Amino acid sequence: MKSKSIFTMFMQCVLFVLGDKWDQYNDPSTWNPSFRYELDKLPMSGKSGKIPWSDTYWPSYRGGIANRWQDEKNSYPGFDYKLYTLEELKNGSVDLNVLSPAEKFDIFNSRYDYPLLNSEWHRCNPNDARWEGICHGWAPAAIHYEEPKNVTMKNKEGLEISFGSSDVKALLSYFLAQFASDHEKTQFIAERCNTDISSTPQKADSSECRDINPGTFHVMLTNIIGFMGTAFVGDVERSSEVWNQPITKYEYILGNTSSPTNTSAPGTVKQQSVSLTMYYVKETRPLPTAHEPQIVDKNYNYLLDLDADGSILGGSYDESQWERVDFMWAQEEPAFFGYFEQLDKIYKASIGGNERRRLISHRPRVSLNDYHATTVTTGGISLSSYNASTRRSWLVPVDANNSVRLRFRSFNTRRFTDYVRVFEVENGHIGAPIAVLHGSSLPKDIVLRPGVSVLVTFSVDQKAAHRMSLAKGTGFELFVL
């Protein structure tokens, strides 16, 4: 969180009281055309019917879900630890309880070459920023799924694997953040601020860093939580770092009214002051058992622009209001598929086998044919020109008797928006993840299993890339050896 001293310095540098009608990126009707806007008809408090659960955001500098979070003896290693063979696991000399969520899931799938674990080692780095992780998976997972309890499962070799509550949460979070991310239907409102405005406060008045319009903010909370009783996700930090949190409750009081100003939205006949408290679920450390969520609150003071009918047109923040929500979003819950089909068994067992009624409105594409991949047998794969909607896929068939190596000659993508993913292909469907790659560091070679083809995909996370400009010369070059 940003300190109040930063806020004080910021206030000395720039005036950021701006009131106007929301623009196309803040228009609530793009989320739901049935939203209500009459202030006197909106609930003054609301709470989601299901309270999301807390868990860690699985920081990348600790290895993501490859972190052995219960291995106190080794200070929670996340990288380059010894991986155990089936023989070592069966002879009883290994404490399976302290293995990472990625290891446990690979073992449950009888994959003793640990594809998910190695994929995390490709994605994460000990030098990654402390705030980087999979909060964009944890936050929607905490909303969609019931809180898992610790559960013991047996794989086909008879190994008993104990999944702690946070092990299951890690897998649910990863599934939404990295595996199903290209298949989710997502709604998004407002713009992401990609500038560190604590160090460059003069840029806080840019369109992307003014953050969500307070009129939009009010309409979203009162309609989604107040009327619908549903939690959704917000980035509660207004600067370049992203902290996605499940928003679960609000309450507000009305203050004085005033006449419109020259910064009010067109059509405003009066302004209404509002003092609102928003409650959201915060991260906790991982734990073996289910636990109460950590709920925190923030206060927001702003003016709403109202028309002659009392409907909200827009608004402005109080000049003392530092805290703002950067953007808000929600996504539909996809069905488990591919390598994560087995996660459905673990999840159901962790909630007692009586899964709640899940309204899954779509099933993600899982067939290789849906990717329209270009087949590459020799030579290279390259991408140098793309935009936010670019989706590319390449199929690399593998000889049944020989290993194939993928080697990157160059790699320069935007760190938080552009992803190269490598998956195994099994019987025409997407199998285990092998690597998730982003940023500008040259990845290590990827050695493929004999006889198993792979799919290489490139996609842009549209939530993260919202109105971001493309850096010149971004892309990658990959050779099949």
The Cα 166–Cα 272 span in angstroms is 44
The Cα 402–Cα 448 span in angstroms is 9
Q: Which residue ranges of the chain lie beneath pLDDT 70?
A: 1-20, 202-204, 207-208, 354-366, 462-473
Instruction: Identify the burial level of 200 via C-beta atoms within 10 angstroms of its C-beta, where 0-12 means exposed, 13-18 middle and 19 or more buried.
Output: middle
Residues near 421 by beta carbon (within 8 Å), at least 6 away in sequence: 178, 182, 433, 435, 436, 437, 456, 457, 458, 459
pLDDT at 70: 94
Angle at 314 between CA 311 and CA 316, to 5 degrees: 130
- CA 330 to chain CA mean position, Å: 10
pLDDT at 7: 35
Tokens representing residue 391 in the block: 């989706």
Q: Taking the model in full, what pTM does it have?
A: 0.90
Tokens representing residue 366 in the block: 């899982």
- Phi, psi (degrees; rounded to nearest 5) at 88: -65, -35
The Cα 383–Cα 459 span in angstroms is 11
pLDDT at 464: 60
- CA 429 to chain CA mean position, Å: 24
* DSSP class per residue in 249-297: EEEEEEEEEE---TTSPTT--EEEEEEEEEEEEE-----SS----EEEE
- Phi, psi (degrees; rounded to nearest 5) at 143: -80, -45
Tokens representing residue 405 in the block: 């190596």
- pLDDT one-digit tens code per residue, 369-393: 888 899 998 888 999 878 777 889 9
The Cα 173–Cα 473 span in angstroms is 32
Q: Which domains does the chain have, with CATH numbers?
A: 4-50+186-331 (no CATH), 365-481 (2.60.120.290)
Query: Which contiguous run of DSSP H or E holds residue 479?
Result: strand 475-480
Extended strands (E) in 363-452: 374-375, 379-383, 391-396, 404-412, 418-426, 429-437, 446-448
User: Alpha carbon of 232 to those of 220, 298, 300, 312, 355: distances in Å?
Assistant: 10, 16, 18, 21, 21
- Burial profile 392-422: b = 16 or more Cβ within 10 angstroms, e = fewer: bbbbbebeeeeebebbbeebbbbebbbbbbb
